[in-house]
Amino acid sequence: MYAIVDTGGKQYRAEEGQVLVVEKLDAQPGDQVELPVVALVDEGRVVTEPGARVTARVLDHFKGRKIIVFKYRPKVNYRRKTGHRQQHTRLRVESIQPPA
């Protein structure tokens, strides 16, 4: 059984025991969070009823790899180089509960 969860504007496939890397959540390492379920797949059958729950534990927070942002305008001597490192949260999916 797996669930499609939605967090940080993206959707992830979550299975029990799996480690997910998502956009940074406002929770401390060791906290338990509940993720909103979009769909639940059980033995090939898709359930989209509300009431399904996915709980996960926050393992840690970290920064992603550096992205270079370079702006350039030809013939004007305009160049700007900046970088960005996205904040991420690592989660371990603890349980997937189907709707009651």
Return per-residue pLDDT of the chain as tens, 100 residues.
Answer: 888 899 999 999 999 999 999 999 999 999 999 998 888 877 777 877 778 889 999 999 999 999 999 999 999 999 999 999 999 999 999 999 887 7
Structure tokens at 99: 């709707």
Q: How far apart are CA 61 and CA 70, in angstroms?
A: 27
Residues with Cβ within 8 Å of 95's Cβ and at least 6 positions away in sequence, in order, are: 16, 53, 54, 55
pTM for this model (two decimals):
0.82
Q: How far apart are CA 62 and CA 77, in angstroms?
A: 36
Q: How far apart are CA 31 and CA 24, in angstroms?
A: 13
Structure tokens at 67: 């992205």
